[in-house]
């Protein structure tokens, strides 16, 4: 009988400032609500915010793990992972961004393979840079979620990325339009026409505004809070998860 491995979901973007990390945390909260054992791997290595947003105290991070792996000094994985609640763990991005250049992409694949046997879902938050680390991350992903806005540069960058996916024959991605951070009010028909691809899911304009700063200061994931359970945006993200986890 085959051993069950985690589903790997990567949340990314084609530029900064799209609400990518907030969306990743929202998905983690919804997975926790479903009692699905999840680890958030913060692969936004230069400027990861997951641990800081959740007010987690970090002693060892992604760089520490890779460095110990490289030097044959690997400890138990639990030593590098921080628990947020009963269903959410976190592997933090490097505390010192100067250490990122010392991380070999070779070990990304090995680390993800180790995590696949410990969790139901590996939820990766990564940046928009197309480098060896992200390419290996994408290769290991079952599903890739692009969070974008209607900003014109965002749409142009997304169109380029879609052309790459088309050339590679890949279809394991979803486009999520975050209207709450969209400054250029471009209508959906125009966006779909420009991209030559329909937006899959839309987060409404007010979704990430209500009490958000207060919850972040408290280190809380807003989709775990009762007042967000019936929000339209929460329903949208639950639909996305239903599609991914089916």
The CATH number that applies at residue 166 is 3.40.50.300
Q: Strand pairing of 143-148 and 38-43?
A: unpaired
Residues 159-199: tens digit of each pLDDT: 999 999 998 888 999 999 999 887 777 899 999 999 999 99
What pLDDT is attached to residue 1?
40
The DSSP secondary-structure symbol of 134 reads: H
Statement: residue 36 has pLDDT above 70: yes
Residue 2 belongs to some domain of the structure:
no
The residue segments making up the domain with residue 183 are: 7-245
Tell me whether residue 1 is in a domain: no
CA separation for the pair 154, 71 (Å, rounded): 40
Is 150 among the domain residues?
yes
pTM of the model: 0.94
Number of structural domains found in the chain: 1
Establish if 139 belongs to a structural domain: yes
Which residues fall within 8 angstroms of residue 93, CB to CB, at 6 or more apart? 42, 43, 44, 45, 46, 47, 48, 50, 51, 61, 62
**Position 193 in a domain:** yes
């Amino acid at each position: 009988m085959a051993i069950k491995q985690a589903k790997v979901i990567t949340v990314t973007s084609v530029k900064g400032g799209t609400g990518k990390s907030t969306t990743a945390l929202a998905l983690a909260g919804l997975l926790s609500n479903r009692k699905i054992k999840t680890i958030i791997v913060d692969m936004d290595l230069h400027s990861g915010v997951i641990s800081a947003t959740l007010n987690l105290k970090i002693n060892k991070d992604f760089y520490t793990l890779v460095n110990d792996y490289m030097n044959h000094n690997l400890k138990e994985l639990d030593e590098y992972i921080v628990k947020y609640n009963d269903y959410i763990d976190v592997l933090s991005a490097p505390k010192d961004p100067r250490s990122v250049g010392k991380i070999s992409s070779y070990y990304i694949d090995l680390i993800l393979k180790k995590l696949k046997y410990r969790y139901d879902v590996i939820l990766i938050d990564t940046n928009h840079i197309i480098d060896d680390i992200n390419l290996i991350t994408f290769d290991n992903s079952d599903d890739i979620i692009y969070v974008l806005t209607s900003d014109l540069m965002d749409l142009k960058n997304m169109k380029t990325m879609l052309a790459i996916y088309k050339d590679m024959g890949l279809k394991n991605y979803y486009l999520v339009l975050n209207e709450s951070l969209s400054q250029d009010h471009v209508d959906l028909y125009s966006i779909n026409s420009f991209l030559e691809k329909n937006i899959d899911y839309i987060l409404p304009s007010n979704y990430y505004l209500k009490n958000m700063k207060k919850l972040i200061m408290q280190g809380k994931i807003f989709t775990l809070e009762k007042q967000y359970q019936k929000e339209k945006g929460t329903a949208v993200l639950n639909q996305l998860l239903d599609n991914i986890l089916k």
